[in-house]
Amino acid sequence: MNNEKIKPSTVINISITMLILILALFPYYYMIMQSFVPWDMVDKTVIPREISFKSYEYLLNRGGASNPFMWIRALINSFLVAAPTALLSVVVGLMTGYSSSKMKFKGSNIIYGSLIFQMFFPVIILLVPRYMIVRPLANQYAGMILPLSISIWAIFMYINYFKTVPDAIFEAAKIDGASHMKIITKIALPSTKSISIIVFLSVFMTRWNELMWDMLIAPDVNMQTLNVMISTQFNQNSNLPGPMYAASVLLTVPIIVLFLCFSKYFKEGINFMLK
């Protein structure tokens, strides 16, 4: 099967795939391009003749009257909310995932039952009461981070992963007298590198793209995430398409770059996602 010649069927297959891929990714080209054209050309052209940074300058200098840097602030807010949420999901996922799959203890079936229940539970029921509980923390990072800080999906990723790791590894460490804390930090955590990266990135992305909760709990212009700011400004200034395209680029490109940097870990992780 070591034929150096490329078969014609392969060429056809590659061309069809590439064509679909180009169509699928065309919206990104369009979005990025519209953010760099002069304002009178926005949505009027697909191949730009001139490049302008006016849309980005607008985001940098001309926010609200009271808060000139509101767009930059929103971008930073998005990071300050998404990163701790993702970190907490990893830590709690590791703790609960490890104890549910590798430790035998009284009541473990209660924890597991509760996890299964939450996995299939429609969160929308909890919206109003959660809002009531967290309202004292409105317009604070804690109020944005805590209610979405634990990902049941993340816990199951770790449970599925630890199921594939033989007990013997952990038993051996236990016989050598290692404490549970030591086993988790020195053995379990390093072995979950790719799972932890996937969990971190996925939760980061989900949190970054969250709209409804942030809209409710952090309406203050200084606390809005970029996602919320685009949706509020978009309704008020829909006559400024250039800056809106530029803000959308700032919203999507960091996530894509982050995922592409770590994409090699996804092949391994995909096997744990659907179990």
For the window 45-84, what string marks contact with another protein as x by the rule CB under 8 A? xx--------------------------------------
Query: Under the criterion CB under 8 A, does residue 89 sit at the interface with another protein?
Result: no
DSSP label at 218? -
What separation, in Å, do the N-terminal and C-terminal C-alpha atoms of the chain show?
34
Query: Under the criterion CB under 8 A, does residue 188 sit at the interface with another protein?
Result: no
Specify whether the CB–CB gap between 119 and 156 falls below 8 A.
yes
Q: By CB under 8 A, name the one of 13, 61, 67, 237 that touches another protein.
A: 13
Query: Under the criterion CB under 8 A, does residue 193 sit at the interface with another protein?
Result: no
Query: Under the criterion CB under 8 A, does residue 259 sit at the interface with another protein?
Result: yes
- Nearest distance from C-beta of residue 123 to another protein, angstroms: 9
Q: By CB under 8 A, name the one of 53, 61, 64, 133 that touches another protein.
A: 133
Query: Under the criterion CB under 8 A, does residue 185 sit at the interface with another protein?
Result: no
Q: By CB under 8 A, name the one of 47, 51, 107, 236 that touches another protein.
A: 107
**Which residue shows structure tokens 């597991």?**
112
CA distances from 93 to 19, 20, 79, 155, 157 (A): 40, 37, 21, 4, 8
Q: How many residues bind another protein (CB under 8 A)?
A: 85
In whole angstroms, give the CA distance from residue 212 to residue 37. Answer: 31
Pick 63 or 96: Cβ nearer another protein: 96
Question: Which region, judged by CB under 8 A, interacts with another protein, from 59-67, 69-77, 100-108, 156-164?
Answer: 100-108
Pick 46 or 76: Cβ nearer another protein: 46
In whole angstroms, give the CA distance from residue 10 to residue 1. Answer: 14
- Nearest distance from C-beta of residue 187 to another protein, angstroms: 15
The amino acid present at 1, given as its one-letter code, is M
- Alpha helices per DSSP H over the chain: 8-35, 54-61, 70-102, 108-119, 127-134, 141-145, 152-164, 167-175, 180-182, 189-191, 193-208, 212-217, 226-236, 241-261, 266-273
Q: By CB under 8 A, name the one of 76, 127, 142, 261 that touches another protein.
A: 127
- Nearest distance from C-beta of residue 168 to another protein, angstroms: 17
CA neighbor of 209 nearest in space, from 232, 228, 236: 228
The amino acid present at 221, given as its one-letter code, is V
Query: Under the criterion CB under 8 A, does residue 252 sit at the interface with another protein?
Result: yes
Query: Under the criterion CB under 8 A, does residue 270 sit at the interface with another protein?
Result: yes
Counting every residue, how long is the chain?
275
Query: Under the criterion CB under 8 A, does residue 172 sit at the interface with another protein?
Result: no
